[in-house]
Amino acid sequence: MLLQEISKELRSFLPEGAVLFEEPMRLHTTFRIGGPADVYVQVASEEELARVLAVCHAAGGSPYIIGKGSNLLVADGGVRGVVVEIGRAMSDICVEGSRIHAKAGAALSAIARAALAASLDGFAFAAGIPGSLGGAAVMNAGAYGGEMKDVVETVRLLMPDGSICEKTPAELHFRYRATDIPEIGAIVTGACICLTPGKAEEIREKMEELRLRRQEKQPLDLPSAGSTFKRPEGDFAGRLIEASGLRGHRVGGAMVSEKHCGFVVNMGDATAADVCAVICDVRERVFADSGILLEPEVRFIGDFEKEEPCHFPGK
């Protein structure tokens, strides 16, 4: 089935404006980098998502699923095929006692605000992570000593056969920045978060403390995908990069942040090729100096064959 036919079928059941063509992916990533997607689809429900997947699979392809684009680097040439966004249109949040039921497109910051309003403690660590619940569940996102596995009770999944099921973090083997969700071919549509009753003022103070720490230590004023590399066992990526003399290392518009070496930032006109070059320089230099091969935490989407000067594990 040609893309024109796929697009026509998608538009037959999705609302006007939900299917876009040649959509610049730089508008949908926190890196502000990326060429156009052939077809860009925004879904508002599990039913819509399931139908979109069915159309794509019938055509012999699988769409790319994204959320807020906070952990993505999209190729300069863009993305061939269909990109599906689970975003604002699928971001409902409901508080029931000490549990928060949220859909996959809900921003972590919005869930944190809902927890604060309900005086529920345990989610402050995620307030400053610029991602959505779906992506955070897939990669077991975390910060400042907290991880999604600590607070997620169940994850709601759309399975490859079109069925919906719920699984626990233990069943999905939540671990450092990884889960089994990609391996089983499932898509997160929501989750139940279980928190602890607390005092609103103490929760607010904790959130503010972490906000100030982020502001002080991270390059929040420049586009990035957050931490570029996973933390190597027994060490920190930022420390290793700085020890290799790469603070401020730059290729084109991409640079190792001078504020925090664990971040590669877009200085304003970076291309995906620039970012790839910086990542490869960092990996090669750190490996030469320490014997540690840093693994990117960023997810790569699109054709990087011409832009990628070295292999990225897990791509």
Residue numbers annotated as active site = 177, 227, 297
**Rounded distance between C-alpha atoms, residue 309 and residue 155, angstroms:** 37
DSSP state string for 78-117: -EEEEEEEE-GGG--EEEETTEEEEETT-BHHHHHHHHHH
Pairing outcome for strands 79-86 and 152-158: unpaired
**Rounded distance between C-alpha atoms, residue 116 and residue 299, angstroms:** 31
Handedness of CA 64, 65, 68, 69 (dihedral sign): negative
**Rounded distance between C-alpha atoms, residue 312 and residue 315, angstroms:** 6
- The answer to whether 79 and 302 have CB atoms below 8 angstroms apart is yes
User: Distance of CA 196 to CAs 48, 116, 119, 191, 238, Å?
Assistant: 34, 11, 9, 17, 33
**Rounded distance between C-alpha atoms, residue 85 and residue 200, angstroms:** 33
User: Distance of CA 139 to CAs 64, 142, 177, 230, Å?
Assistant: 16, 9, 5, 11
**Rounded distance between C-alpha atoms, residue 38 and residue 16, angstroms:** 17
**Rounded distance between C-alpha atoms, residue 60 and residue 82, angstroms:** 12
- The answer to whether 91 and 110 have CB atoms below 8 angstroms apart is yes
**Rounded distance between C-alpha atoms, residue 25 and residue 85, angstroms:** 11
Which residue carries 């607390």 as its tokens? 198
